[in-house]
């Protein structure tokens, strides 16, 4: 399988491997009186797999939503490719190379697998609307080019058999895979995965782990993932950040984090001191 | 037998006219989940603007048509900018109420701009009976209704291509399915809404012209929206083919019932038959013929 994106030709990427690609600094997010995230800072380096872990309600998904612009934090800055900003906008995040998947699969249920993945190409399709209506000439050529890329992703994720199936009919594990395919179709520089293995059986988890590693190694895509399965987190990730009650309690190598007393307490449910 | 065929044909043609109005509802409901109460007034407003521009400036009708399309697009933009963007994530009932307000606002605006008198709409659409049908098959068919059927067919074909084959069409379907996921792949909700409301406005213009040519451009045009409701219930709120088939069933049902059942109950069945049919349908198949099945897990 040839890599469909050469890391060097990654769109708009000026960040070298190992340098900081995204950093959040002193980010706080509240919904009315409820504090979802309090003063969190961490960074994601180009080319790494960064895990975000923590008990339920720790603010992990909120953090991803801040990064791709669904939530706008009240305080803090987000630095993406060296440019600092108060908040991301969803369109900006998507067009600047941030793709994501969702905890509860968010697919376009009425569409086929192929059409779902094609929506991921939408931002890079530029041909005039009138041409598209004619479905001929340059627009047709463009559609075919993009379709070619999509077929490569389909091969990569081994979902050839369900190409024409409406995704609403697929089993959960495959839906998760289609969602990953749609995110990959955007050729992202940073891929956010929100519990990619939730609800999967062991075999599906192993498949998904392999895909995540392959995406990271073959395409050079930086990955930030939320996951509850500690075995998976320890195997996959280069660095781990741990959240609890909206605060960061640990950040570092998997083996260090594993030994951290605060982390152990958080997971065992030791009462909180205010 | 000939008379029966004639009844069915005239029902089909009337049904096409209902379908045109129902289409506008479906487009907006599908893409944004908003039931646009103002769709009927859209037809009135578009037809008023179309006739008004011709009257005031004396331009030929194709020019006026293009200008009116421009007005409907500007209107769609304004609705998104000043109404919808402030109501994002509100309950559907609140959005519905907003469209009621919009309906009355547009009604007033139309009156203010173009006056409230009945305007004839004459752009040279053929009227009267088709001689050819009369001579060959001895069947009476209104020419205007044949034109309406052809226009509706062209419109639906165009929309189908637009939705199935273009990137924007794919984005529209994506937004209809899942807002969050659509945002995550970089689809702008605002742009999509402007496009959907523009398309609904253009469909309303076509429907308004057809109805206007039939009965003059007047306030009662906005009430044809009420006739579109049973069509939607029959066809399903989310289905374009449903709007067409629903319209045809209502059209034919009305005419056939009026002529064959009417005499037994004192006539005027046409006025309520559609609603009764819709009511009966709701009991059997609440999602309509082509609607997405409602599955509630309890």
pLDDT digits (tens, 9 = 90+) for A209-255: 999 999 999 999 999 999 988 888 888 999 999 999 999 999 999 98
Domain ranges of chain B: 2-284
**Range of lowest pLDDT (A74-88, A112-126, A215-229, B241-255):** A112-126
Q: pLDDT band at residue A6, thresholds of 50, 70 and 90?
A: very low
| pTM, rounded to two decimals | 0.79
In a domain, A155, yes or no: yes
Do A198 and A266 belong to one domain? yes
**For residue A224, what are the domain limits?**
20-97+188-274
Interface A-B, measured as beta-carbon pairs within 8 A, has a size of 79
More confident residue, B192 or B121: B192
What is chain B's mean pLDDT, rounded?
Answer: 85
Q: pLDDT band at residue A10, thresholds of 50, 70 and 90?
A: very low
pLDDT digits (tens, 9 = 90+) for A50-81: 999 998 888 999 999 999 999 999 999 999 99
Residue A42 Cα to chain centre, angstroms: 16
Q: What does the pLDDT read at residue A139?
A: 73
Nearest CB among A94, A108, A120 relative to B173 is that of A108
CATH 1.10.10, domain B2-284, yes or no: no
Residues A20, A53: Cα–Cα separation, whole Å: 20
Nearest CA in chain A to B181: A106
Nearest CB among B176, B181, B186 relative to A102 is that of B181
In a domain, A135, yes or no: yes
Q: What does the pLDDT read at residue B140?
A: 77
Is it the case that residue B215 has pLDDT exceeding 90?
A: no
As beta bridge partners, residue A190 has A98, A222
Q: Which of A163, A185, A207 is the last residue of a domain?
A: A185
Is it the case that residue B62 has pLDDT exceeding 50?
A: yes
The CATH number of whichever domain residue A63 belongs to comes to: 3.40.50.300
A140 touches B: beta carbon within 8 Å: no
CB B172 within 8 A of CB B195: yes
| 3-class SS of residue A102 | coil
Cβ-based neighbours of B219, under 8 Å, separated by 6 or more: B44, B107, B116
In a domain, A273, yes or no: yes
Q: pLDDT band at residue A198, thresholds of 50, 70 and 90?
A: confident
Do A83 and A125 belong to one domain? no
Contact B185 A182 (CB under 8 A): yes
- Chain A interface, best mutation among B186, B194, B202, by max A CB count within 10 A: B186
Question: Rounded mean pLDDT of B93-118?
Answer: 89
Nearest CA in chain A to B177: A108
Do A34 and A89 belong to one domain? yes
Contact B186 A115 (CB under 8 A): no
Nearest CB among A95, A107, A132 relative to B165 is that of A132
Contact B183 A91 (CB under 8 A): yes
Do A196 and A90 belong to one domain? yes
Query: Which chain B residues are Cβ-neighbours of A133 within 8 angstroms?
Result: 161-162, 165-166
In a domain, A80, yes or no: yes
Do A81 and A200 belong to one domain? yes
A106 touches B: beta carbon within 8 Å: yes
CB A211 within 8 A of CB A157: yes
Q: pLDDT band at residue A9, thresholds of 50, 70 and 90?
A: very low
Q: What does the pLDDT read at residue A8?
A: 42
More confident residue, A192 or A265: A192
Query: Which chain A residues are Cβ-neighbours of B178 within 8 angstroms?
Result: 106-109
Q: Which DSSP letter does residue B217 get?
A: B
pLDDT more than 90, % of chain B: 23
Contact A70 B174 (CB under 8 A): no
Q: Is the ipTM of this complex over 0.85?
A: no
Do A200 and A274 belong to one domain? yes
B190 touches A: beta carbon within 8 Å: no
Do A25 and A62 belong to one domain? yes
Do A194 and A262 belong to one domain? yes
Is it the case that residue A188 has pLDDT exceeding 90?
A: yes
Q: pLDDT band at residue B298, thresholds of 50, 70 and 90?
A: low
pLDDT digits (tens, 9 = 90+) for B153-209: 888 888 888 887 778 888 888 887 888 889 898 888 888 889 999 999 999 999 999
Do A171 and A232 belong to one domain? no
Nearest CB among A111, A122, A135 relative to B177 is that of A111
Q: Report which listed range, A224-228, B12-16, B27-31, B153-157, is most confident.
A: A224-228
**Range of lowest pLDDT (A124-138, A223-237, B44-58, B234-248):** A124-138
Question: Rounded mean pLDDT of B129-149?
Answer: 78
Q: What share of chain B is helix, strand, coil (3-state, %, to 5)?
A: 75, 0, 20
Chain A, 143 to 172: residues with Cβ < 8 Å from chain B are none
Do A236 and A129 belong to one domain? no
B27 touches A: beta carbon within 8 Å: no
In a domain, A10, yes or no: no
pLDDT more than 70, % of chain A: 89
Do A266 and A213 belong to one domain? yes
Query: Which chain B residues are Cβ-neighbours of A110 within 8 angstroms?
Result: 173, 176-177, 292
Question: Rounded mean pLDDT of B275-289?
Answer: 87
Cβ-based neighbours of B51, under 8 Å, separated by 6 or more: B114, B119, B121, B212, B217
Q: What does the pLDDT read at residue A175?
A: 92
Give the count of alpha carbons within 13 A of A229, CB side only: 17
Is it the case that residue A111 has pLDDT exceeding 80?
A: yes
Name the domain count of chain A. 2
A186 touches B: beta carbon within 8 Å: yes
Do A227 and A271 belong to one domain? yes
Q: Which of A141, A167, A185 is the last residue of a domain?
A: A185
B266 touches A: beta carbon within 8 Å: no
In a domain, A229, yes or no: yes
Instruction: List the strands of the sheet with A75-80, edge to edge.
Output: A34-45, A20-31, A75-80, A83-85
Is it the case that residue A162 has pLDDT exceeding 90?
A: yes
> Long-range contact list for A260-268, CB < 8 A, 24+ apart?
A266/A54, A266/A55, A266/A58, A266/A242, A267/A55
**Range of lowest pLDDT (A82-96, A114-128, A171-185, B145-159):** A114-128
Residues A184, A117: Cα–Cα separation, whole Å: 8
- Provide φ and ψ at B233, rounded to 5°: -65, -40
Query: Which chain B residues are Cβ-neighbours of A135 within 8 angstroms?
Result: 161, 165-166
Q: Which of A129, A155, A185 is the last residue of a domain?
A: A185
């Amino acid at each position: 399988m040839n890599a469909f994106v050469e890391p060097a030709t990654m769109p708009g990427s000026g960040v070298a491997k190992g340098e900081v690609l995204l950093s959040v600094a002193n980010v706080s997010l509240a919904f009315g009186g409820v504090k979802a995230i309090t003063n969190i800072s961490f960074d994601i380096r180009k080319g790494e797999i960064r895990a975000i872990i923590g008990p339920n309600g720790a603010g992990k998904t909120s953090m991803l939503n801040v990064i791709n612009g669904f939530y706008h934090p009240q305080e803090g800055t987000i630095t993406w490719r060296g440019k600092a900003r108060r908040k991301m906008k969803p369109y900006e995040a998507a067009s600047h190379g941030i793709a994501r998947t969702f905890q509860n699969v968010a697919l376009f249920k009425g569409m086929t697998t192929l059409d779902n993945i094609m929506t991921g190409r939408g931002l890079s399709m530029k041909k005039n609307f009138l041409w598209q209506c004619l479905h001929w000439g340059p627009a047709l050529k463009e559609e075919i080019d993009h379709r070619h890329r999509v077929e490569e992703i389909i091969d990569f994720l081994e979902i050839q058999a369900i190409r024409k199936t409406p995704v609403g009919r697929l089993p959960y594990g495959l839906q998760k895979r289609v969602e990953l395919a749609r995110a990959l179709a955007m050729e992202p520089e940073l891929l956010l995965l929100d519990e990619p293995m939730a609800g999967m059986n062991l075999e599906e988890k192993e498949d998904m782990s392999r895909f995540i590693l392959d995406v990271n190694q073959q395409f050079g895509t930086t990955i930030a993932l939320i996951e509850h399965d500690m075995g998976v987190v320890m195997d996959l990730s280069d660095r781990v950040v741990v959240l609890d009650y909206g605060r960061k309690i640990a950040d570092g190598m998997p083996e260090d984090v594993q030994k951290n007393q605060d982390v152990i307490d958080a997971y065992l449910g030791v009462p909180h001191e205010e | 037998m000939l008379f029966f065929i004639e009844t069915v044909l005239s029902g089909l043609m009337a049904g096409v006219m209902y379908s045109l109005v129902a289409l506008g509802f479906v487009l907006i409901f599908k893409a944004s989940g908003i039931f646009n109460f103002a769709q009927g007034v859209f037809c009135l407003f578009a037809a008023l603007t179309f006739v008004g521009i011709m009257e005031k400036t004396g331009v030929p009708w194709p020019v006026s048509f293009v200008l009116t399309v421009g007005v409907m697009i500007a209107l769609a933009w304004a609705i998104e900018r000043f109404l919808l963007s402030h109501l994002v994530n509100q309950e559907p009932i609140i959005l519905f109420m907003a469209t009621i307000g919009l309906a009355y606002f547009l009604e007033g605006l139309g009156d203010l701009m173009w006056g409230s008198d009945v305007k004839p709409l004459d752009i040279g659409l053929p009227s009267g009976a088709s001689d050819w049908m009369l001579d060959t098959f001895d069947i009476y068919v209104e020419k205007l209704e044949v034109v309406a059927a052809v226009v509706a067919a062209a419109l639906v074909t165009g929309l189908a291509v637009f939705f199935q084959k273009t990137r924007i069409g794919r984005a529209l379907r994506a937004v209809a399915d899942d807002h969050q996921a659509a945002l995550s792949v970089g689809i702008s909700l605002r742009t999509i809404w402007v496009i959907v409301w523009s398309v609904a406005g253009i469909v309303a213009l076509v429907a308004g012209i057809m109805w206007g040519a039939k009965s003059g451009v007047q306030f009662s045009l906005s009430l044809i929206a009420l006739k579109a409701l049973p069509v939607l219930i029959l066809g399903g709120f989310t289905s374009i083919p449903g709007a067409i088939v629903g319209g045809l069933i209502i059209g034919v049902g009305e005419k056939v019932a009026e002529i064959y059942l009417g005499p037994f109950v004192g006539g005027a069945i046409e006025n309520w038959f559609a609603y009764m049919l819709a009511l009966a349908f709701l009991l059997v198949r609440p999602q309509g013929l082509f609607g997405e099945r409602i599955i509630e897990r309890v």
